[in-house]
Amino acid sequence: MLGIVQGRLSYSGRKLQSFPKNPFEEFKIASKIGYDFIELFGERVKNDKNPIWSKSGIKKYIKISKQNNVKIFSFCDDYIINHSLSSKKTLAAVINTVEKLSKLKINKYILPLYGNSQINFKNKNKIYKNLSIISHTCKKNNMELLFESNMSPEKFEILKKNINSKNCFFLFDTGNRILLKKNPVLDIYKFKKNIRHIHLKDKNIYNKNVIFGEGKVDFKSIFMALKKIKYKGSFTIESQRGKDIESQATKNYIFFKRLINKYIIK
């Protein structure tokens, strides 16, 4: 399945990751282009206007999703970037989010382990403990728990071992991995079946998210590697909107749909 992250089908000024003023309108645009799903997200500072926090908002999401045949499939929780996962308060907030998302039947719950939730020597034991609790809560609610991180495949295996859960997987971000000055193709071979979801973005040498083709990511080699590990998972586009939002989103859809049909779908 191929989706697009929430907010990339709406004009939001200069800010790239911004919650749309009318999140429901994006489902109509996504349906028109052909996207399978919209990846919802939670902001770094809780936004009370986000429909996931109310029963009426959740009902409207479900209704608009069915009307436009655009799934609600994944959720990326940026809240933890500003709030450490080592904190009991953050843990409680995450558990509450997971329980809200269960009503939308979210398939993949994504935790970006950056900022205040980046794992280090001092916080690792507390974060491991809390991630174990989150993982079991996700499993109880029929969700996979995915981690977005710059960690190596070896460190991810350590993380999985400490959480002691079979419900934890890795989200591979094409833009972020290219900036580690490592070969992202080799990383794909090492992560293998741990990869359950992919964020598609292109970045230049200045760590700026750019229009596909203007950055350093070699998407053909990425997809060839995914074919070799027999990847059959999902993709979310996290690109720049471009000057004409719908036109650029359509170009992105066509570009990646061709790659998916060629290398992923037999």
What pLDDT is recorded for position 18? 83
Q: How does pLDDT run across 15-45, given as a tens digit for each residue?
A: 778 899 899 999 999 999 999 999 999 999 9
Residue 265 has pLDDT above 80, yes or no: no
Residue 181 has pLDDT above 80, yes or no: no
Residue 256 has pLDDT above 80, yes or no: yes
Q: How does pLDDT run across 46-86, given as a tens digit for each residue?
A: 999 999 999 999 999 999 999 999 999 999 999 999 999 99
What pLDDT is recorded for position 266? 65
pTM: 0.95
Q: What is the mean pLDDT of residues 89-107?
A: 97
Q: What is the mean pLDDT of residues 206-233?
A: 93
In terms of Cα–Cα distance, which of 164, 93, 169 is closest to 132? Answer: 164
Q: What is the mean pLDDT of residues 167-181?
A: 87
Residue 211 has pLDDT above 80, yes or no: yes
Domains in the chain, please, with CATH?
Answer: 2-264 (3.20.20.150)
Sorting pLDDT into bands at 50, 70 and 90, what band is 12?
confident
Q: 3-state secondary structure string, the chain? A: CEEEECCCCCCECECCCCCCCCCCHHHHHHHHHCCCEEEEEECCCCCCCCHHHCHHHHHHHHHHHHHHCCEEEEEEECHHHHCCCCCHHHHHHHHHHHHHHHCCCCCEEEEECCHHHCCCCCCHHHHHHHHHHHHHHHHHCCCEEEEECCCCHHHHHHHHHHHCCCCEEEEEEHHHHHCCCCCHHHHHHHHHHHEEEEEECEECCCCCEECCCCCCCCHHHHHHHHHHCCCCCEEEECCCCCCCHHHHHHHHHHHHHHHHHHHHCC
